[in-house]
Amino acid sequence: MTRNTRGFTLTELLVATVVMSILGLALTRILIGDSRFVSKVEAMMDARQVARAAMNTMGVELQMVSQGGLTAASRTRVRARVPYAFGILCDRLWTGDRWIRYAVLVPTDSLMYANATANGMAWRNASGDYTFHDRNPRVRAGNPARMTLCASEGIRTNLPKSQFIRMRISNDTLTAGDVFYLYENVRYRFWTSVAVPGRIGLWRRGEELMSPFDPASGFRFFVAAEDTSLIAPPADLSQITGLELRLVGASEVTPQGSPAPPSFEIKTRVNFLNRR
């Protein structure tokens, strides 16, 4: 019996090679395109997460600032007296060498209260103006036996989660029943990042919160009766009623096929709530 041992011709092999090369090249381009797309999406999500995290962190704190609570401001940094606990002043007691003021803190965020450090206190007068006492009032738990100093003024000390405290305030001439708050000095600054060398980070009180940011990130300023934010703060910082946060988050990496790391911009207005 005769067997058919005929194989492929050279022409057929060449045609098959060319077809396989074309299919392989097309598949490679598809895979590269998909890889670049995924890389860009991930980088954009990272940039967006950085911007949103910064907005959430600063927005919560800075909206609590009262008029006159901003103590320093520029395009890349702000420093403010940020309230963390509010209360009502009771009577004071002379201890022989100093006055001790007793007060009741209304229900507070226990975690925030535990982590905060009182850099000062502020109280509001009848006309709505705030007075700032820029010294540590040395807050301590009040002796329960002294609660009569609040009860005699008609101030309740048994509210759920309220705290009875005592404070040392120099030149105390306050009035029982005045509303006050304890604050800490907080500084936000866009500055050279340590976590991502060569980039910009957002710092809070000397601690880098998140990074990186585009150098276009910064602050703008709103003053009374103006709907448009100012690039530079006014000379009198007490005129500032709110901030515009321009947060341009960026990715740490440059995606394949991109000339630079992508960025994601958020602009939001933060109004100071504790105004007259």
Separation CA 244–CA 228 (nearest Å): 10
What pLDDT was estimated at residue 231? 94
Kindly report, residue by residue over 86-122, the tens digit of the pLDDT. Answer: 999 999 988 877 889 999 998 877 667 777 788 999 9
- The answer to whether residues 193 and 73 belong to one domain is yes
- Of 69-78, 118-127, 189-198, 264-273, the one with minimum mean pLDDT is 118-127
**Phi–psi pair at 163, nearest 5 degrees:** -135, 135
The enclosing domain of 175 has a CATH number of 2.40.30
Q: What angle is formed at CA 64 by the lines to CA 150 and CA 171, rounded to 5 degrees?
A: 45
- The answer to whether residues 178 and 207 belong to one domain is no
* Helices vs strands, H then E, count in the chain: 3, 13
Instruction: Give percent of the chain with pLDDT exceeding 90.
Output: 43
Q: How confident is the model at residue 266 (pLDDT cuts 50, 70, 90)?
A: very high
Last residue of a domain, one of 155, 184, 213: 184
The answer to whether 223 and 57 are in contact (CB under 8 A) is no
Q: How confident is the model at residue 127 (pLDDT cuts 50, 70, 90)?
A: confident
> How does DSSP classify residue 137?
-
Last residue of a domain, one of 145, 162, 184: 184
- The answer to whether residues 193 and 151 belong to one domain is no
Cβ atoms within 10 Å, residue 65: 27
- The answer to whether residues 65 and 160 belong to one domain is no
- The answer to whether residues 108 and 239 belong to one domain is no
170: CB partners within 8 A, 6+ apart: 133, 135
- The answer to whether residues 111 and 169 belong to one domain is yes
Q: Is residue 26 part of a domain?
A: no
- The answer to whether residues 112 and 151 belong to one domain is yes
How many residues can be counted in the chain? 276
Instruction: Give percent of the chain with pLDDT exceeding 70.
Output: 90
Q: Is residue 18 part of a domain?
A: no
- Read off the pLDDT of each residue in 197-218 and give the average, rounded to a whole number: 95
Separation CA 42–CA 80 (nearest Å): 35
Q: What angle is formed at CA 172 by the lines to CA 167 and CA 173, rounded to 5 degrees?
A: 135
- The answer to whether residues 87 and 179 belong to one domain is yes
Q: Is residue 153 part of a domain?
A: yes
pTM of the model: 0.79
Q: How far is CA 269 from CA 84, 104, 246, in A?
A: 21, 33, 9
Cβ atoms within 10 Å, residue 210: 20
- The answer to whether residues 102 and 177 belong to one domain is yes
Last residue of a domain, one of 184, 217, 242: 184
- The answer to whether residues 126 and 141 belong to one domain is yes
The residue segments making up the domain with residue 121 are 80-184
